[in-house]
A = this chain, B = another copy of it.
Amino acid sequence: MDPAITPELVANSWALLKPFHDKVGYNAPKVDRDLAYGDHPRHRLDVHTSGDENGTANHGAPVFVFVHGGGFVGGDKHVPGTPMYDHVGAWAVRNGWVGVTITYRLAPEFTWPSGAQDVAAAVGWVRDNIASYGGDPSRIVVAGHSAGTVHVASYLVGQGSDGHSGSLDGVKGAGLLSGFYQIPDGAERGELEVSYFGDKPSAEVSSLPGLLETEIPLIFAVAERDPEFSHTQVAELTAAWFAKKNAVPNVIFSAGHNHISQIGSIGVDDLALGAQLARFVNRVTQLSPGGTTPRTPR
């Protein structure tokens, strides 16, 4: 398949993946749906648990918050009849965590930094409410895919925050999957970017400088058959990260996958992304960080 992100790529990728998800199963034992984390109809999230939150399985468990993609103008945490993105919640629960999948406001009606503000509000809801679902509000990892990554990165670096509203309390790590950190200016901006960022200057809306400063552990991912602009982002990120830290960033390379099948691989081809991402979550949320001590695979 051509790497360009078209409706055909989305449909064909999911058509390939769905039988595998059907076989493995893509629903957590319990899903509490459409809990409101704000006033807008799209301020909704689903909580995925093992269903025995009064027992021990999810008691004080790490919380994995997932922010979907969709080019700033579309997408949803849950597309009925498909694995999207219940499969991420189910995978989180299989890993012993609580999963949270969120929906947020869309462009062109809502523009930058509304995405960051919505992620911040959702994380705030998690901090206030997740204990009653068995989650630990002090061990949160936030991850996004594609445009969702833009919003997560934007939140991490404090865009749209008055400080309190964008609190990072409890956030122990972030997963930035096939995202965009250096937003181009003016004429180089694509239609979808214009719809969300308008004509705001690159220096104002790009998260890359802030990501180089944050102390929150980050893991990135790129798919082998991601569009060229995703690879450009990782090349620029690697150069900037190295210039700043004399080290390269932690980037998962999802061999064989495209922009869509990469996130779809979670739960069915976990060595492409899920296993590395899970190792990251387990490392950054462990109560007694073990440094370089190896642990046997779970």
Contact = CB atoms under 8 A, between A and B. Distances in A.
A43 interface: no
Chain copies in the assembly?
2
**Residue with the highest number of chain B CB atoms closer than 10 Å, among A235, A246, A250:** A235
A292 B257 contact: yes
Nearest to A249: B253
Contacts of A219: 255
Interface residues of A, number: 53
A220 to B, nearest CB: 9
Given A1-B292, A253-B248, A231 B222 contact: no
A275 interface: yes
A238 interface: yes
Contacts of A17: 294
A232 interface: yes
A295 B276 contact: no
Contacts of A250: 224, 253, 255
Nearest to A261: B292
A292 to B, nearest CB: 5
A296 B275 contact: no
Interface in A249-298: 249-253, 255-258, 261, 264-265, 268-272, 275-276, 278-280, 283, 290-297
Contacts of A13: 292
B258 A16 contact: no
A16 B291 CA distance: 12
Contact of A261 (B20, B264, B294): B294
A292 B225 CA distance: 9
**Residue with the highest number of chain B CB atoms closer than 10 Å, among A257, A278, A279:** A279
16 contacts: A13-B292, A16-B294, A23-B296, A231-B242, A234-B238, A235-B238, A248-B251, A250-B253, A255-B280, A255-B283, A271-B276, A271-B278, A271-B279, A272-B279, A272-B294, A276-B276
Interface of A: 1, 13, 16-17, 20, 23-24, 219, 222, 224-225, 228, 231-232, 234-235, 238-239, 242, 246-253, 255-258, 261, 264-265, 268-272, 275-276, 278-280, 283, 290-297
Given A1-B292, A232-B246, 9 more contacts: A16-B292, A20-B296, A219-B255, A222-B248, A224-B250, A231-B246, A249-B253, A252-B253, A255-B279
